[in-house]
Amino acid sequence: MSSSRLADGSIPAVAEIQTAAARIIRNVEKVIDGKSAAVHTALTVLLAGGHLLIEDVPGVGKTMLAKALAASVDCSVSRIQFTPDLLPSDVTGVSMFNQAERRFEFKRGAVFANIVIGDEINRASPKTQSALLECMEERQVTIDGVTYPLGSPFTVVATQNPIEMEGTYALPEAQRDRFMARISMGYPDTSSELAMLDSRDTTSPLSEIGAVVSVEELKAMMVGARNVFASSAVKEYVVAVVRATRDDRDLRLGASPRATLQLIRAAKAQAALHGRDYVLPDDIDSLAVAVLGHRLMPTSRAVGHHRQDSAPIIEEIVLRILAATPVPVSVAR
């Protein structure tokens, strides 16, 4: 993406967004082997200005993906290791008294960065988890009645382990709803795992990658993604899918209006990644599970033998809803 285009404040073409995004994807895939879908979804969330929750078992590269994505952009990055004794002030900041000047000064917390990596977010207490609510939704922090705006762009990439429940605090519905999408890494295939043994035997590939886009380029890419066209038919399709989750017999909690908005934003970003200036129903279908899944709560009857992990049954429900929802025919400009 040319610097002159950034300087004059014009909206970049989707071809430029696609080219810059391809650089980021190639960079991240130097570290993450065989997880193209997860990498694409993570970048989609970043371009859409959302927050990402990466949920999976230990050792499959959750934190590595978050670090590689952050390292690919020349912007401020912070990492928070969530633990039971982590305080809200460790995240947001605290007002401290300056003895020399005899006044209170605000010491910024780790959340004041463009990309915030929250590792094992479900290990912190609910009080500390809730400190992120205002940050994630309103892009600001309020301490002692004073509001401090966060930087732009601002994205939280959080990880959690859904298997080990001892010493953890499940994210409440209000917290999960702030995340645009939830993805799982899954185990690598055989060839990817063999390649990992060769590439990481002596060094970490994360130390060998650098930024491939500037923060100004990322901002321009995000503006371009927001300006991707979504027809009335596509918007009606999104609303129909989301509303169907609220009436489904197997769900006791459907998707919120925020989910409707974030699904269309994510679809616009994905269209831009594919070099299109308009959204297709396929964009909605491919993102629906990631964007809606963590917001839905199945009934006890629907969960059945999946009681320890409801994700498979939720994915099945979302796919069933997509299959039953009429797809619009005319969606281009």
Q: What is the pLDDT of residues 48-100, one digit of tens each?
A: 999 999 998 888 888 889 999 999 999 999 999 999 999 999 999 988 888 88
| pLDDT, position 308 | 58
pLDDT of residue 4: 42
pLDDT of residue 167: 65
Q: How confident is the model at residue 204, as a pLDDT?
A: 76
pLDDT digits (tens, 9 = 90+) for 275-316: 999 999 999 999 999 999 999 999 888 777 555 567 889 999
Would residue 36 be called left, alpha or beta, if left means φ above 0 and alpha means ψ between -120 and 50 degrees? alpha
Nearest to 265 by CA among 93, 257, 159: 257
Longest Cα separation, the chain:
69
Asked if 53 and 179 count as a contact pair (C-beta separation under 8 A), the reply is: yes
For 137-179, the DSSP string reads HHSEEEETTEEEEPPSS-EEEEEE-SS--TT--PPPHHHHTT-
Q: Which stretches of the chain score pLDDT less than 70?
A: 1-9, 164-167, 201-202, 305-309, 330-333
pLDDT of residue 164: 67
* DSSP helix/strand/coil, 115: strand
Q: What percent of the chain has pLDDT over 70?
A: 92
Please say whether the beta carbons of 135 and 156 come within 8 A: yes
Task: Report pLDDT for 309.
Answer: 64
